[in-house]
Amino acid sequence: MGPYKILFLDIDGTVLRPDHTIEETTRVAIKEMKKQNMEVVLATGRPLHELSDLAEELQITSFIGYNGALGIYEGDIIFAEPMKPEDVSYILNVSSAYGHEVVCYTNSKNYFTSLEPEAVQAFQKQFHLRQNDLLTEDVMEEVLGMTIITAGNNGDSLYQINGGIHLSQVNVEGMQHCFDVIRDHVNKGIGVKFLLNKLGIKSEESIAFGDGMNDKEMLSYVGEGFAMGNAHPDLFPHAKHKTTSVTNSGIYNGLKSLGLIES
């Protein structure tokens, strides 16, 4: 085995192109890393219960989901960190006051404040969310992550969030009015650190690719962090490398630059 032992990949805008397809070069890159006995982990803001098809297609069994709130290694849950109910309540109260919709993710479903609005249906379609239901009080202590669907520009400024929580704009075309709720102590970087410690892998032996601001902690922590060419402009300072876009062999070219792919 070479100097690298594990590869973390964001999904939207990194593995998946805007049309939700995967470039052949990306498939080749993932297969090649597996041939080199490298662990491959999907690290995403998405709920993990919606990833079965993609995971099967890429033959990946390890994940960091909900922006770092849940970790699964080879099918087994290794950590889970639900949100504080009081933080969930605050965001729900503000969203209700300003006419925003919210989706709360548990480890089994996506709970929306409403299912009918066009913005909600567009969000579900964009991210292929199928396990959807109306939010009820009895799941408040099970929420692993949240996304706010605002009503327009600067909708995130209405949330005066303190105590280690910030909002991260969703870096997907047509979804920039949506914001993931990120906890300072629960993010992809913390999830990566936990998994590396569990596996006995040093940070310098790890590689990660991402395109959104919810990837900044992950890219900063790993030994070789790559920002995709289509990344949010504010992400580039947090990455050691910049590669090409998701539609131009970004993962493949990044791994090639490290000498892990020859042709």
- Domain match, 72 and 194 both: yes
Domain extent, residue 174, equals 85-183
What's the CATH code of the domain at 123?
Answer: 3.30.1240.10
Contact 239, 226 (CB under 8 A): yes
Contact 72, 65 (CB under 8 A): yes
What's the total number of domains in the chain? 2
- Domain match, 91 and 178 both: yes
Domain end residue (candidates: 183, 214, 240): 183
For residue 1, being part of any structural domain is answered with no
For residue 147, being part of any structural domain is answered with yes
With 0-12 CB in 10 A as exposed, 13-18 as middle and 19+ as buried, what is 139? Answer: middle
- Domain match, 118 and 161 both: yes
Global pTM value: 0.87
What's the CATH code of the domain at 71?
Answer: 3.40.50.1000
For residue 250, being part of any structural domain is answered with yes
Cβ atoms within 10 A of the Cβ of 138, count? 7
Q: How distant is the alpha carbon of residue 115 from its chain centre?
A: 23
Residuewise pLDDT in 10s, the chain (263 residues): 469 999 999 999 999 999 999 999 999 999 999 999 999 999 999 999 999 999 999 999 999 999 999 999 998 999 999 999 999 999 999 999 999 999 999 999 999 999 999 999 999 999 999 999 999 999 999 999 999 999 877 788 999 887 789 898 898 888 999 999 988 899 999 999 999 999 999 999 999 999 999 999 999 999 999 999 999 999 999 999 999 999 999 999 999 999 999 87
- Domain match, 94 and 76 both: no
